[in-house]
Structure formats: C-alpha cells, structure tokens
Chain A
Amino acid sequence: MTAKDQIKDTVTKNDVVLFMKGTKSMPQCGFSSRVAGVLNYIGVDFADVNVLADEGIRQGIKDYSDWPTIPQLYVKGEFVGGCDIITEMTLSGELDALFDAKGVSYNKDAAKKIREANG
C-alpha cells in the first residue's frame, strides 16, 4: 500500500486521527503534545499516528493535506488544522461545534474548563 492509500485508510476508518510526532502517551514535540493534550483532556477517542516512526507517512501526510507541518488533525476524513488552529478552535468553542456536527463524543464540561482557565 502506498503512503497515500495508508493515510486515506487510516482517516477513513477512524473518526478522529492525529498525525503527530511521538504518541499520545509520549509526544515528542511541544506542538504535537499540545493538541494531543487537548484531545485527551476533553475525552475524545482518537487514533494517533507517529510520523517519526515512518518517513513515508511523515512526507506523505504533508502531501495528502497540502499542509507543511505536523501535527495534523483529521475528523471524519477531513483535515481540520494544525496546532495553532486547534488551539484557537478550542478556545472559541468551534471545536465543540465541529465535534457536535460530526457526531464525535467528548466531554463538554472539560472543554468548558479549558476555556474558563484560558479566558
């Protein structure tokens, strides 16, 4: 399977996927860590793909989304954004709205707590 097919397969089979440096339990980059931390905190069930473990995926994911940086978040097969965008969307409530619209379950109270702590 080519890297592109592998990526397509992963984002199709999992509702929420984070392509990141390291894993959700052991991130290896501050930006990946921040996004994984938000998803963990608000209780989103997501698949993590460690791009450092596979050079083909590391380059492939940048080509797939036409986006030059890692991390990259996908929800129901659609690219949502990187670290800045996910942070902004978390604080504005847009991420909640996206999860609501896509039928992804998460803890609304935890999301609210993040906003209160950063308001």
Chain B
Amino acid sequence: MQLATEMRDRLTAAFAPSRLEVIDESEDHRGHAGYREGGKTHWRIVITAPELGPMTRVARHRAIYAALGPDIIGTIHALAIDAD
C-alpha cells in the first residue's frame, strides 16, 4: 500500500476537499525520536473542505484522525494538520 495515496483517498472520500496536500516530511526529522529508516513517519496534511471550515480546531483534527482511521494513525509518528 502506498501510504500517501491511501491517506489521500480516505480524506477525499470523507471531505471532498477543494485543496488537499499530503506531504511526507520524515526526512526533516531524520535522527529525531520516531524516525524510521525509509521515512513515512512524519506527515503534514494541508486540507481545505467545506465541512471542516466551521468546526472548532479540536473537532477538525478529530474528524481528520477519524477519516484516516486507527490503522494509519497507529503506524505514523507525527501528523501536522493545516486545515480550514
């Protein structure tokens, strides 16, 4: 499974975003806690979707975590979210 593709697919299905970027930033964290050889540990999501806009920050993050699902959340070390 291509993790980035899977993340994109799940977020697209959940929110029909007008803007979506899924970025693997693992290399920026090489040598830090949580880094694994091969990357795919530290991610950033930039997402704009009508449903997310009016939510509180906590609700927005929770919705994104839920859309990604526990299997993905459980395998990654860090997820930065820029949402509106």
Chain A interface residues toward B at CB < 8 A: 21, 28-31, 66-69, 79-85, 88-89
Contact = CB atoms under 8 A, between A and B. Distances in A.
Nearest to A94: B57
Interface in B70-84: 70, 73, 78-82
A73 B5 CA distance: 31
B65 A68 contact: yes
B29 A30 contact: yes
Which 8 A-B residue pairs are closest in the complex by CB-CB distance? A85-B57, A68-B73, A29-B33, A84-B81, A84-B80, A81-B58, A68-B65, A30-B32
Contacts, number: 35
B32 to A, nearest CB: 6
Interface of B: 29, 32-34, 57-58, 61-62, 65, 70, 73, 78-82
B62 A85 contact: no
Nearest to B70: A68
